Amino acid sequence: MIIVLKNNKSEKEIGAFKEYLEQKYNVGVHVSVGHDSVVLGLIGDTSAVDEDSIRAQEIVGEVKRVGEPYKKANRKFHPDDTVIILGNGLKIGDGSLTLIAGPCSVESEEQVTEVAIEVEKSGAVILRGGAFKPRTSPYAFQGMGADGLDLLKKARAKTGLPIISEVMSSSQIELFDDVDIIQVGARNMQNFELLKALGKQPKPIMLKRGLSSTIEELLMSAEYIMASGNEQVILCERGIRTFETKTRNTLDISAIPILKKLSHLPVFIDPSHASGLPWLVEPLSMAAVAAGADGLIIEVHNNPAKALCDGAQSLTPEMFDSVVKNIKKVADSVGKKL
């Protein structure tokens, strides 16, 4: 961390500030006296140094963090890709492309099982399905809850597909005991109490980027989970909020190579939520694979028009099958196994 002091500070003031930094944060401080400014360089582990608090000091002009504020999620300290292995032996982040598919909401045993059978045929290796649904309106369908999780498990029993579902509160976590991957939705990306609780779970967590969260904030939220003990984190970009209105959100495709460079964690893309439009799922999926994504999570419903939630963005099983064929071509071209 580089701190530029305001002009015209006395040696005594500078010395006192140097001592304060050394003691408060247990770091070394290198003082460099320039022509018209004094620059301090902080040496050592500065991840706990609060930029805002430094900035509040009367003596300080500018602050610039040189290193990253995350450690466990940082590729610098963990150069190899993290590979996550599920109970059935499925590997995520090992250079293959992982397809997750399923309905937005679990609605009935028939629905989820039928979709599971179909998407597996097309190439999906994990089944998604919402049991607890974060809905903008309190009057909208809020999901089947624990019953929905049971139906997902039945579909897993039938197909062998591991399951992923979203948790909305730490009080729900125990219901997810037998769920293979727990998802944190975009709206909860900075629900820090939830992140800490998930850090104590012995299973992978898929962490979705918040609608207005920066890439660095996403990594800091991953750090919350990892610092609490759980290093099996999957990052997921699902669109950010911009002024453009043709799509529900704007897929930040650059997030893929940037996250892969800064972190060792697997990076997934959710083209269904990013666009909100079923016909965009194919080109966005193909782009994501070309840009280096480790996996995709796609909404598939056997009857989108009757879906209780977000049907507008779901593919039918037939559409999904066709999309996977085109995804496969791109995956082949970049050396990713599907």
> Which residues 74-113 are close enough to bind a copy of itself by CB under 8 A?
none
Pairwise CA distance, residues 45 & 63, whole Å = 16
Among the listed residues 8, 12, 34, 177, the single contact to a copy of itself using CB under 8 A: 34
The residue range among 63-71, 74-82, 92-100, 112-120 that interacts with a copy of itself, by the rule CB under 8 A, is: 63-71
Distance CA 119, CA 318 (A): 9
Using CA atoms, how far apart are residues 281 and 287, in angstroms rounded to an integer?
Answer: 10
| 10 binds a copy of itself, rule: CB under 8 A | no
We find the least distance from the C-beta atom of residue 212 to a copy of itself, in angstroms, to be: 3
Does 322 interact with a copy of itself (rule: CB under 8 A)? no
**44 and 28 in contact (C-beta within 8 Å)?**
yes
Whole-number minimum distance, CB 138 to a copy of itself, in Å? 4
Q: Which of 14, 90, 117, 287 binds a copy of itself (CB under 8 A)?
A: 287
Which of 10, 137, 177, 202 touches a copy of itself by CB under 8 A? 137
SS3 227: helix
Rounded Cα–Cα distance for residues 179 and 164 (Å): 6
Only one of the segments 81-89, 122-130, 154-162, 212-220 lies at the binding site for a copy of itself (rule: CB under 8 A); that segment is 212-220
Question: x/- contact string, 251-280, with a copy of itself (CB under 8 A)?
Answer: xxxxxxxx--x------------xxx--xx
Q: Which one of residues 250, 321, 322, 338 is an interface residue with a copy of itself (CB under 8 A)?
A: 250
Interface with a copy of itself includes 188 (CB under 8 A)? yes
Rounded Cα distance between 279 and 103, Å, is 16
β-strand partners of 208: 236
Give one word for 162, left, alpha or beta, with left for phi > 0 and alpha for psi -120 to 50: beta
Quick one: tokens of 91? 């590997």
Q: Out of 10, 23, 87, 305, which residue is the one contacting a copy of itself (CB under 8 A)?
A: 305
**Chosen residue from 97, 99, 220, 236 binding a copy of itself by CB under 8 A:** 220
Judge contact between 179 and 165, C-beta under 8 A.
yes
In contact, 1 and 67? CB cutoff 8 Å: yes
Q: How far is the CB of 20 from a copy of itself (least distance, A)?
A: 9
